[in-house]
Amino acid sequence: MSDCPFCGIVAGEIPGRIVGENDHAVAFLDANPMAPGHTLVVPREHRERLADATSEETQAVFALLHELAPKIETAVDAEGATVGLNDGSVAGQEVPHVHAHVIPRFPDDDGGPIHVAAGSRPELSDAELDEIAAAIGDD
Ligand code: AMP
Ligand code: ZN
């Protein structure tokens, strides 16, 4: 996609601090980091939503996350990392090219668990949970 910044970084047409890559995914530092070492991992191909990426691409993205997360933590002396992606604009996705964030975490960094991204917790009955599970699953 010609005006996508992440396609531009993958193609080497716009600057990016690339920290790792494999056949189907590339990792580079976030240009406006939430923490030192904040890294984005993207499929090489332009895919807007997670469901648009192929199984091979999603495996490549996760393989790169698995390889880099400990290296990132060591590089910036972090004690852990929050790993996740904003899938869709309602979830906060601003760049329409799938990207997983690795955000190194430090004691007293004022962050929280990934749960805070979803806002308040809904009250769901057992029947509602059963219905949702059935709707997602095969049965
Ligand atoms: P999201 O809200 O999940 O779409 O996050 C988009 C992320 O991309 C933000 O953290 C931005 O700082 C980052 N970002 C946007 N443009 C660039 C760029 N050219 N190079 C590196 N990171 C970028
Ligand atoms: Zn793109």
Q: Mean pLDDT across the stretch 108-120?
A: 94
Q: How far is the CA of 126 from the centre of ligand 1 (A)?
A: 39
**Closest ligand 1 atom, CA of 101?**
3
pLDDT at 11 over 90: yes
CATH architecture for the domain at 5-137? 2-Layer Sandwich (3.30)
**Closest ligand 1 atom, CA of 34?**
10
Q: Is the CB of 117 under 6 A from ligand 1?
A: no
In the chain, where the domains are located: 5-137
**Closest ligand 1 atom, CA of 8?**
19
Give catalytic status of residue 24 as yes or no.
Answer: no
SS (H, E, C) the chain: CCCCHHHHHHHCCCCCCEEEECCCEEEEECCCCCCCCCEEEEECCCCCCHHHCCHHHHHHHHHHHHHHHHHHHHHHCCCEEEEECCCCHHHCCCCCCCCEEEEEECCCCCCCCHHHHHCCCCCCCHHHHHHHHHHHCCC
Q: Mean pLDDT across the stretch 7-24?
A: 98
Tens of pLDDT, residue by residue over 30-88, are 999 999 999 999 999 999 999 999 999 999 999 999 999 999 999 999 999 999 999 99
Q: Is the CB of 22 under 6 A from ligand 1?
A: no
26 bridge partner residues: 21, 42
Q: What is the pLDDT of residue 138?
A: 72
Q: Which ligand is nearest to the CA of 6?
A: 2
Rounded to whole angstroms, the Cα distance separating 131 from 65 reads 33
Rounded to whole angstroms, the Cα distance separating 105 from 78 reads 6
Q: Is the CB of 3 under 6 A from ligand 1?
A: no
Q: What is the pLDDT of residue 44?
A: 98
Q: What is the pLDDT of residue 2?
A: 81
- Closest C-alpha residue for ligand 1 atom 3: 93
pLDDT at 25 over 60: yes
> Are 10 and 98 a contacting pair, CB within 8 Å?
no
pLDDT at 118 over 60: yes
At residue 139 the predicted structure's pLDDT band, cuts being 50, 70 and 90, is low
Q: Which ligand is nearest to the CA of 15?
A: 1
Tens of pLDDT, residue by residue over 95-112, are 999 999 999 999 999 999
